[in-house]
Amino acid sequence: MNPPSLCPIGVGWPARALLALLISLLSIPFSPAASAAEFDYRLAPRRIADGVYVLIGRTEDFSLANGGNIVNTGFVVGTQGVVAIDTGSSRRYGEQMRAAIARITPLPVVLVINTHHHPDHFLGNQAFAADTLAALPETIRAIEAEGPGFLDNMYRLNGDWMRATEVVVPRRALAAGRINAGGRELELIALGGHTVADLVVLDHASGTLFTADLVFNGRAPTTPHADITQWLQALDRLEQISFRQLVPGHGEVAADTAPIADTRRYLRWLAQTIRDGAEQGLDMTEMLALPVPATHAELAEVASEYRRSITHLYPAAERAALGVPR
């Protein structure tokens, strides 16, 4: 059978039939799969002190609806340049963060700090110059080792928001202590517990403390790499630091230590619940069925984060209760 020929109007196809087809096609709403408007994080820098800005994410889990915009990032403007603190969850986020910075100041970004190796804090690295990317040595190694797996999962969770995102590993290793970056005096405080290495940044001029994910405000903490004992020690250290305002990794900015205390209270409850369950011989199913007490029920994502924490942490607690070596 010969293929149909492409005929001009009035020869193979009746003109009215073709016109009707064209009208019906034009009536279909146009919805491009990847228009700029669809993938706009609407990042709005909030000035919280002279030269200090934050971009507050939602207290949600990753989804196609939020595109991974669940993290707090920030930047500090000095006399010669800008220091960015974390880069968000995707290349798009990083590009839009950089554009947001440019709306505030024409100064260049001279340093980009990845506070730890969780994907919502470093997958926007592509948007920034490679020689500005920096992190603690343990964080650099963790991004190298786990970054590709994180990226695959973020594509699954956030879909086309992640388009063209790749893992870019910072090459500049940071150490604890005072630095001058862009004409701004910063204190780098190396801790751990949420992950293998958690970097806290204190801007001395404004008294702003960027705690990253060592502190959650109004949201249940995430624990995929947690060492809760070490985390609690880090929180004790944070309470000893003099600051005027605290920027948590997730949740609203605070002017006091309440988010530190709330994070500690939740982690202590979680650790005790896991320890008690293991000593009582409860299995994983029984642990997952335990209710979250009313004292923590108002935390965003608390039910899902409790289940994840049991999955992450309970097997080790069972082995400890049985006296099995780690």
pLDDT of residue 37: 62
Residues of the chain with pLDDT under 50: 1-35
pLDDT of residue 1: 36
* Sign of the dihedral through C-alpha 248, 230, 185, 261: positive
Instruction: Indicate the number of domains in the chain.
Output: 1
Q: Is 280 exposed, middle or buried (0-12, 13-18, 19+ CB in 10 A)?
A: exposed
Assigned domain for 126 exists: yes
pLDDT of residue 25: 34
Assigned domain for 202 exists: yes
Assigned domain for 209 exists: yes
Residue with tokens 């950089």: 98
Assigned domain for 87 exists: yes
Residue 107, helix vs strand vs coil: coil
Rounded Cα distance, 164 and 254, in Å: 35
The edge-to-edge listing of strands for the beta sheet with 133-135 is 46-49, 52-55, 73-77, 82-85, 109-113, 133-135, 172-173
The CATH number linked to 112 is 3.60.15.10
Assigned domain for 308 exists: no
Residue with tokens 């988010």: 259
The range of the structural domain enclosing residue 248 comes to 46-257
Rounded Cα distance, 33 and 261, in Å: 44
| Per-residue DSSP letter, 121 | G
| Per-residue DSSP letter, 299 | S
Assigned domain for 86 exists: yes
Q: Say how many C-beta atoms besides its own lie within 10 A of residue 236's C-beta.
A: 10
Rounded Cα distance, 266 and 220, in Å: 8
Assigned domain for 295 exists: no
Report which of 242, 239, 237, 173 is spatially closest to residue 204, judged by C-alpha positions. 242
Assigned domain for 289 exists: no
